[in-house]
Amino acid sequence: VGGPAAAAGANVEWKSPDGAANPYLALGALLAAGLDGVERGLPLPPGIDGDPQRLPAGERPARLASTLAEATEALAASEVLRASMGAYLHDRLVAVRRAEVEASAGLDEEALVAKHRWRY
């Protein structure tokens, strides 16, 4: 909606994660990260038009993990998310994700899909 009142409003666009994500943890992490950014006065990063996975090498923003291992280590390093979900849940979630990374090591995409097809 445009017009004079548009500047007084606020919109949030959330691209929901895939079906393997826990929606409560995903939304909680989004809220915690957003509140941290507001509290610290951080600017929004530039938007991304289209599917970031399809960007040519070198154009994908460093803030976006490319693998489960990268995402897991980013979660492990996040004091904001550790504080928001509590140390117990955070540490166990990291441990489970690290175990998934280890269990999936060396599998190609087809084998990985076959392994998880009926899990989620």
Q: Is the pLDDT of residue 65 over 70?
A: yes
Three-point CA angle 65, 80, 98, nearest 5°: 45
Higher pLDDT, residue 19 or 114: 114
pTM of the predicted structure, to 2 decimals: 0.78
Q: What is the pLDDT of residues 111-120, one digit of tens each?
A: 988 988 887 6
Please state which of the ranges 2-6, 21-25, 29-33, 35-39 shows the lowest mean pLDDT: 2-6
* Token pair listed for 50: 């289209």
Dist CA 23 CA 19 (whole Å): 8
- Show the CA angle centred on residue 77, arms to residues 70 and 106, nearest 5°: 25
